[in-house]
Amino acid sequence: MSDELWTSATRHPFLNAVRDGTITDDAFDRWLVQDAIFVADLLKFQARLLGRSPRPAQAVLVSGCAALVAELDWFEDQAARRGIELHGKPLPATLAYRELLRVLDAEPFDAAITALWALERVYLLAWQHAHSESSRFREFVEHWSTPEFASYVDALGTLATPEAHNALVDEVLSHEVDFWEMAGA
Ligand code: MP5
């Protein structure tokens, strides 16, 4: 697991630009549309993972699925407020991430839950990094910085075994970097 990749995925220029308010609305909206597609893909992946999860993991995965359903509503609200259409086409980074989620279906549960933990932890750390009292994107920053979300990431952490899946965690982190890059802040 590479510290450098954790840093690139959680302190990307996209996040600095969100924090500093220098990001263009076009770039932010480009990310928003793609993230809504990713979250829809993630919900399907997580539901499949729930189907093969051992008893001790079921509660946390159910709570995560419910949160993703609520999050899709939240994306719709945000898009309506910003006057954008959410049903865009997936760009290459989104399609590549979708493919990783598909590949994870064939991996043992331990590997798949570790990947899920990594991709959620990135969002927690990334949006904490983007925090600023004056940001016009504060609502987004706060969405992924709540104590509830941090507890969810901790709960996934008790099921994850990153030291046994270094290459996979790095793969997730690379997809996260590509995802920020796609917005082209
Ligand atoms: C998440 C996300 C976190 N929304 N988008 C990407 C590219 N990676 C991770 O997922 P969630 O479930 O929205 O917290």
Number of domains present in the structure of the chain:
1
Q: Which domain holds residue 83?
A: 1-183
What was the pLDDT predicted at 133?
A: 83
Q: Is 133 a catalytic residue?
A: no
Question: 62-68 — which CB contacts under 8 Å span 24+ positions?
Answer: 63/152, 63/155, 64/116, 64/152, 64/156, 67/152, 68/39, 68/42, 68/43
Helix (H) or strand (E) holding 142: helix 138-143
> What does the pLDDT average to over 52-64?
98
Q: Which of 60, 72, 119, 169 to mutate to test the pocket of ligand 1 (most atoms within 8 A of CB)?
A: 119
pLDDT for residue 165 is more than 60: yes
Provide the 8-state DSSP code for 144: T
What was the pLDDT predicted at 184?
A: 79
What was the pLDDT predicted at 117?
A: 98
What was the pLDDT predicted at 185?
A: 57
More confident residue, 183 or 159: 159
Q: Which of 120, 154, 173, 178 to mutate to test the pocket of ligand 1 (most atoms within 8 A of CB)?
A: 120
- Domain containing residue 4: CATH number: 1.20.910.10
